[in-house]
Amino acid sequence: MELSRATDKFLDFLLNEKNFSKHTLSAYSRDINDFIEYLDEEDIQVEDIDFFLLRGFVAACYEKGLSSSTIERKISTLKSFYKFLVMRKIIENNTAKPLKFPKKEQKSFNVFNIDDLLNLLEAPDKSTPSGLRDCLILELMYATGVRVSELAATELTDIDFSGRRLRVMGKGKKERIIPLSDFHIDLIQKYSAVKNKIPKNRDIQTNKLLINKLGTALTDRSIRRIVDKYLKICGLPATFSPHDFRHSFATHMLENGADLRTIQELLGHSSLSTTQKYTHMNLSEILKIYDKTHPKSK
């Protein structure tokens, strides 16, 4: 079967049987088209493509300087494509099975020190409705460790004022509950009482907690811009990002005695191994704990 025809069948399978989104389909299509372009043969048959051609494509991706995550996605697309081909008996052997994913890059992240963090939280002008909103954004990101997308999706009905809890719908529609302090409940109530003053000549059109000057919900991008604005105001390095509030939330909890399982639940990680990246305690902290707890440390 021609590769182009097999590709059409694969994409049709993803759309109609796997119910993949248009965005995901577009990514799969783009990856396979890149492979077809690499082969430089319009009418090539699927059964004529051997492992060495597949490996050559991956090598070409490295030579182009593509990131490890992009190469990993392209390999994953090829593996899924070839599983489909075997499942539909278009080919007998899964030629893509031996392909190796790139080694995982150890991502570094920033953690705010307490002084910088306090300055950051105090930066917005809380005497104005928009400043109060910005303060709430910064406070909630650090107090709860939520992702920017999760914060943008938060509605007033997600907040249990009497129980002081926030309901968050995370990745994979996995729900988690995060406790809130009296301070943050009070801040939410103060903002909610004045947030209708932010829109200019327009009624509020959304149930979302955070709104823009038009009265509609703040988007992920808008929240990122707001956070970046205060990072710049406070003179923090350009390497800091909104996601570092989440890193700081987890790191500071760990340093103050929280166990990994609790942090895992609060962050919404499906695997404990993902949370373990926060065990990057420095040597002096390790030595202090050793001196305090080990019977032979004296």
Average pLDDT (252-258) is 82
Same domain (yes/no): 135, 268: yes
Same domain (yes/no): 281, 215: yes
Write down the pLDDT at residue 20: 80
Write down the pLDDT at residue 19: 81
Same domain (yes/no): 120, 268: yes
* pTM exceeds 0.85 for this model: no
Out of 87, 122, 137, pick the residue that ends a domain. Answer: 87
In this predicted model, what pLDDT tens digit does every residue of 144-173 receive, in sequence order? 999 999 999 999 999 999 999 999 988 777
Same domain (yes/no): 136, 217: yes
In this predicted model, what pLDDT tens digit does every residue of 271-282 receive, in sequence order? 776 666 666 544
Out of 87, 122, 146, pick the residue that ends a domain. Answer: 87
Task: Return the CATH number at 150.
Answer: 1.10.443.10
Same domain (yes/no): 61, 129: no
Share of the chain above pLDDT 90, in %: 41
Which residues are designated catalytic?
147, 171, 243, 246, 269, 278
Residues 6 or more apart in contact with residue 289 via CB below 8 angstroms: none
Whether 297 is in a domain gets the answer no
Owning domain of residue 64: 3-87
- Please tell me the total count of domains within the chain: 2
Task: Return the CATH number at 23.
Answer: 1.10.150.130
Q: d(Cα 161, Cα 214) in Å, to the nearest integer? A: 26
The stretches of the chain forming alpha helices (DSSP H) are 3-16, 22-39, 51-63, 68-87, 114-122, 129-144, 148-153, 182-194, 220-233, 244-255, 260-267, 272-275, 283-293
